[in-house]
Each structure stands twice: as structure tokens, then as C-alpha cells.
A = this chain, B = another copy of it.
Amino acid sequence: MPAPKGSQAPSRIRINLPEPTIDCGRYAPKRCVGDTVRVTADVFRDGHEILRAVVRYKAPGARRWLEAEMHALDAEIRGVRWAGEFAVTTMGRWEWTIEAWSDVFATWSDELQRKLVAGQEDLSGELSEGALLLRDAAERTKDAEDRATLERALDDLTAEAALAPDVLEAVERNAERGDATRTGVHALDVDRARARFSSWYELFPRSWGGLKAVEALIPDIADLGFDVLYFPPIHPIGRKNRKGRNNTLVAGPDDPGSPYAIGAAEGGHDAVHPELGTLDDVASLCETARAHGMDVCLDIALNASADHPWLTEHPEWFQQRPDGTLKYAENPPKRYQDIYNFNWDTPAWRELWEAWRQILVGWVQTGVKAFRIDNPHTKPFDFWDWIIKQVHAVDRDVIFLSEAFTRRAVMRELAKLGFTQSYTYFTWKNSRWELTEYVNELAWTKEAEYFRPNFFVNTPDILHAYLQHGGPPAFVTRLVLAATLSPSYGVYSGYEHFENVPVREGSEEYLNSEKYEVRERSLDGPLLPMIRRLNEIRHENPALQTLSNVHFLDTHNDALIAYAKTAPGNTIFVVANIDPHNAQEGVALVPAHLGFAPAFTVEDLLTGAHHDWRIGANYVRLDPHGDQQAHVFRIAS
């Protein structure tokens, strides 16, 4: 750095390592409306002067910056780390910066105080300096009362007068920030609260009688406590190379095909399959959902069947061979003759992006408030960055759920650039050790600033072996874990019926999967009462509505998993038996450092039973053949 220009010496203050930030400010951390944002930074300067610092923040679209005082976290070491807070009250991009300056008057009065205490007698030099500071403040203030206070002190200046609390306060109120330094402007993306806390139910409308029939069920689904109703693609399905039941290569004449083979003569991604209903039906369904406090989520798969209108209207958007023919999808040696991928490197990429923008905005205008994006990790990152912002410019409410099961860095990148929520590896974390490690990573590393997990217990593609072989107790355990470990979780219909038969041993695909055939579904599975109760518990307990408040407890038994989740005035303990076959006993070891009372009462929110617990080991026994596979305790007030 060359010697700075100007007659004022460069500021001596450093503001380092501001948080929350992601990748040096390349991405914006995420928060939700109603959150209190805690901003921290190293704030210090050379020498011994007393500093002050504020976080300055600005709401989306606001003109004025507001300020909140920051304080050193550890006064004992002349605290280098400072913190301040502000509440985010609207959706959109908030901005913040930190400003710090030397508090000349506080430094002066602190030294004067120390001299007084030490009995130093001649303070005339000190008082002449103080008089200058007070006079400056008196001239600066626009407050008549402050001016009066300051002038009164100046009238006959003594150390005692200068150190009077009202004088100090009057000066501070009118302090000049002579050497103020600021960080760059940092961003925060603030979503609605449902971005963090949501309960999803997934169904194939064709198995429930189409969109009108599903609309009629919405009161019941809402009554179960679900917030988001999510459909796999509802578009016309290609006929050429249509897949048959159980993913066979040749479809029978009545086979409906996979909803992921999108596009037919009836239309593409902007159309509704005629057998499901109409665009108006979607709009009506979305309105009914909204009336019941729910959102509708559409599945967006960015590929085309062989019959998709865009293949003929826009061949330039697809992969072409040198001879000009279009290339179907392949992952050698596998070939997918029924699917055509987009060529994201096409020179017409801008038209392609715009076409997708229109598709998504069209659905938003129909009333859709959430998109589950199929395989976003095989499309350009910049495309997602752009289109999420475009859609949010139309409706900031829209939630984007990333369905990327791939390398962790890629999943993180998608979350950083704007996906609201993400599918996770939860389905494959079934041991105590795996769950503890994974959830601690999600909750306590930097990832928590931008990656919001959505724990699905199952999906149309994932029926884990644990469920295949564990029977109903396995379904209970996984449901309790998903619903209490993650503030967002999801259930794909059939789970409540304990559906557990794979298409073949060793596969995670369902037998007779709804992906390839119509099933007859109804909302009467035996697990629904427990789902309803868990959703009630989730809504009633703030501790279950955030992620970074989980503390795993030792259980003295690897088949038992236990954790505490805490929010102000609300503590939940969960103990679950991971073994679906045998009774397991052990303890929930409550460590002293979590700050609970030495002894307290917990209420099992699933059974109503009460137990006396304490800091230390609390005996637990869970029996899949008995009455219970998991406890969800709340500390009784």
C-alpha cells in the first residue's frame, strides 16, 4: 500500500474476518423473516484507545441504513471479537457493514478516571484537553438539552464534572466518528420462515384420481400438519420409447409412462397432462392449498421426451450429431433413447434460459410456490444463479428444493448460489455414528449458513434397505429422526402404509413404482396418526424449527441415539431405538455444560408420560415389540 493521499492520517482501526459471510462474500448467507442476525468481527486498532463499533444494516429496497451497537465479546482480553445484532423483518436481500471508530472522549475520561483513583493532583493539562472535546461536542449537537449539559460542565470544569454520567452520555450521543472505518457491504438473503421450517408430503396425482381429487383432499393433508404438497411432473408424457411398468423397456398399451419423460403432442413443461386435469385445476388447487396454509410444489425436470414440442421447435437447444440429428441421453454404456438432454452450451443459450424463465414464472403465476428441481447438478451453475433471482423478482416467496445427490462440494455450490433447500444423504445415514457425524456437519459447520437440509424419509427413487427389512418399527424410527433432527422433512406417500417391497433384492427402487404405473392411493395409512402428532409437536416447539441447536448425547448403546434441541424456553430431548428388531436399553447422558437444571421433569409428547431426569445418565429402554420405539421429551416448565 502506498502512503495514502490526503491530510488525514489513515485510519488505525482494523475490522477483520466479518461473519456471517460465505466464500469471501461471493455468496449471501441465508436467513428467514423474523430471525435475529448476529454479526461478528475482529475489531481492534494499534495502541490503547477505546473503540466503538456498530453494525449498519439496510432492508431490501430501503434507502436508510440503520445501526445497532456492537460490543466486545470478551472484555477481559480487551475483546478483539465484537458482536451486534439486528432483526430481519422482510424477504429479500439485506445488506450490512460494520463501522468502528476511536472513542476519543471515553479514552480521555478513562485515563482521567485512573489518574483520579491514583490520587494525581495536577490535572489542569488533562482538563484543558477535556474542555476541547466537550466544546466540540457542544458545538456539534443539535439537541438543546445535551448542549445545556455540556455547557454546564464546561462552565467550571473539574474532573468530577467531566466524569459525570450525564456528560459522558451527552458526548457519546454527539460523538464524532473522526477515524471511522467500514468493512465492505455484505449481503444476506432473507426468505420466508417456511424456507427453514416445513413439512412436505409427496404424491403422484394420477394415483389419487387427478388434480380435482387431490384438491378435495387438501383439508385432510393440511390437518395432518403438512405445509407443502409436492407433485412429481404433471406434464404430458411422451409416447415414443415409453417405459413400461417396473421400468421395463417396452410399455404395454395401457401403461401411462414415466412422468419424467416430459412432453407430447399435448404440450411440454408448460402444459398439464390431460388425464390429470387442466391449468385451471392447478390454479384452483393452489388456491385451496393457500387457504389451508399450504404451498404446492412442482417437480421441474429439465429434459425432454422424444415427443416434446421443443425438439422440433428448437432443435438448436439440444445436442446434435455432426449430421444434424439430435442425440438422446447416454451415460456409456447406458443409453436413454426416451430422454433428450438440453445442450446448455448452445449458442442460443440465452433463448433457452429465457424459455425456462417463462416456464417457471408461468407456474408461479398459476399459484405454484415451490419447485423441486430434478438433477440441478447436471445444468450450469450460472443458470441457476440467474433463474432463481429472476423468479424471486416475480415472487420472493418461491422455494427452490435442489434434488442433487452428488459430490458434497457440488451440492454446497447449488445451495450457496440460491437453492432454498436441499435433499441430503439422510436416507443413507442409518447408524448412530453416521447420523451424528452428518447432522453435526450440517448444523455446526459453515454449511449451516446456506445449506438447508430437507430430510426425506423416502422418495419414489429411494426405499432404503433399512426400511425394506426393518418393518413398521424402522418406519417409526426414521420418521421421528427426520421430523426432529431437521426443521424441514418430507414423506412420500406409501410410507404411512409401511410400503417396503423393492423391485428386487439389492435395489432401492419400489416394486410396482408409481413412476411407471398408476396406483390406487388413499389417505388412510396406519402411520398417519403418528405423523399428525409429530407435525403438531414440530409446530408447537420452536426447538424443532431450527437446525443449529442440536446436541447429541451419549447413550452407552450404539443402537440408541439421543439428542437435545434447545430454543429459548423450549427444550426437546429425542431418544430413538435404531434397532427395529430388538428392545434396547441404555441412557441419555445429559452433560452439565448444556446448562440445564440439576434435576428436571420431562414429558413424553408422544405418550404423555412424565419422568424425572437429571444432569448425568437417565435410563431409557425402547422396545419395538412393546409400546414405543422412540421418545420425544419436552422439559416441563
A344 and B47 alpha carbons, distance in the complex (Å): 11
A409 neighbours in B (Cβ, 8 Å): 16, 42, 44, 80
CB distance from A190 to the nearest CB of B (A): 19
A330 neighbours in B (Cβ, 8 Å): 111
A409 and B42 alpha carbons, distance in the complex (Å): 8
| Closest residue of B by beta carbon distance from A25 | B24
A325 and B407 alpha carbons, distance in the complex (Å): 68
Is there an interface contact between B24 and A132, defined as CB atoms closer than 8 Å? Answer: no
Is there an interface contact between B111 and A332, defined as CB atoms closer than 8 Å? Answer: yes
Is there an interface contact between B129 and A321, defined as CB atoms closer than 8 Å? Answer: yes
A265 and B246 alpha carbons, distance in the complex (Å): 99
Does A48 make an interface contact (CB < 8 A)? yes
Is there an interface contact between B333 and A46, defined as CB atoms closer than 8 Å? Answer: no
Is there an interface contact between B114 and A382, defined as CB atoms closer than 8 Å? Answer: no
Is there an interface contact between A78 and B1, defined as CB atoms closer than 8 Å? Answer: no
CB distance from A30 to the nearest CB of B (A): 17
A3 touching B350 in the complex, CB below 8 Å, given contacts A9-B380, A407-B77: yes
Does A637 make an interface contact (CB < 8 A)? no
Does A322 make an interface contact (CB < 8 A)? yes
A361 and B327 alpha carbons, distance in the complex (Å): 69
Oligomer copy total: 2
A129 neighbours in B (Cβ, 8 Å): 321-322
Does A323 make an interface contact (CB < 8 A)? yes
Does A10 make an interface contact (CB < 8 A)? yes
CB distance from A447 to the nearest CB of B (A): 13
CB distance from A347 to the nearest CB of B (A): 5
A67 neighbours in B (Cβ, 8 Å): none
A323 touching B386 in the complex, CB below 8 Å, given contacts A16-B413, A407-B44: no
A369 and B118 alpha carbons, distance in the complex (Å): 44
Is there an interface contact between B17 and A321, defined as CB atoms closer than 8 Å? Answer: no
Does A429 make an interface contact (CB < 8 A)? no
Q: Which of A305-329 contact B (CB under 8 A)?
A: 321-323, 325, 327
A354 neighbours in B (Cβ, 8 Å): 3
Q: Annotate A15-42 by CB proximity to B: 1 below 8 A, 0 otherwise.
A: 0110000011100000000000000001
A165 and B357 alpha carbons, distance in the complex (Å): 44
Does A385 make an interface contact (CB < 8 A)? yes
Which single member of B128, B331, B379, B410 contacts A323 (CB below 8 Å)? Answer: B128
Q: Annotate A108-132 by CB proximity to B: 1 below 8 A, 0 otherwise.
A: 0001101101101000010011011
A376 neighbours in B (Cβ, 8 Å): 46
Is there an interface contact between A128 and B322, defined as CB atoms closer than 8 Å? Answer: yes
Which single member of B2, B333, B345, B389 contacts A9 (CB below 8 Å)? Answer: B345
A129 and B324 alpha carbons, distance in the complex (Å): 11
- Which residue, of A1, A323, A389, has the highest number of chain B Cβ atoms within 10 A? A1
Which single member of B17, B115, B379 contacts A333 (CB below 8 Å)? Answer: B115
Is there an interface contact between A379 and B46, defined as CB atoms closer than 8 Å? Answer: yes
A325 and B124 alpha carbons, distance in the complex (Å): 13
Does A14 make an interface contact (CB < 8 A)? yes
A2 touching B386 in the complex, CB below 8 Å, given contacts A44-B407, A44-B409: yes
Does A598 make an interface contact (CB < 8 A)? no
Is there an interface contact between B118 and A333, defined as CB atoms closer than 8 Å? Answer: yes
A347 and B7 alpha carbons, distance in the complex (Å): 6
A331 neighbours in B (Cβ, 8 Å): 48
Which single member of B16, B44, B115, B381 contacts A12 (CB below 8 Å)? Answer: B381
A407 touching B78 in the complex, CB below 8 Å, given contacts A3-B350, A353-B3: yes
| Closest residue of B by beta carbon distance from A333 | B118
A1 touching B386 in the complex, CB below 8 Å, given contacts A12-B381, A14-B381: yes
Binding site for B on A (CB under 8 A): 1-4, 7-12, 14, 16-17, 23-25, 42, 44, 46-48, 77-78, 80, 111-112, 114-115, 117-118, 120, 125, 128-129, 131-132, 179, 321-323, 325, 327, 330-333, 344-347, 349-350, 353-354, 376-382, 385-386, 389, 407-410, 413
A sample of 24 cross-chain residue pairs with beta-carbon separation below 8 angstroms, ordered by A number, consists of A1-B386, A3-B350, A3-B353, A3-B386, A4-B382, A9-B346, A12-B344, A12-B382, A14-B413, A16-B23, A44-B407, A44-B410, A46-B377, A46-B379, A47-B377, A78-B407, A80-B409, A111-B330, A111-B332, A114-B332, A114-B333, A118-B332, A128-B322, A179-B345
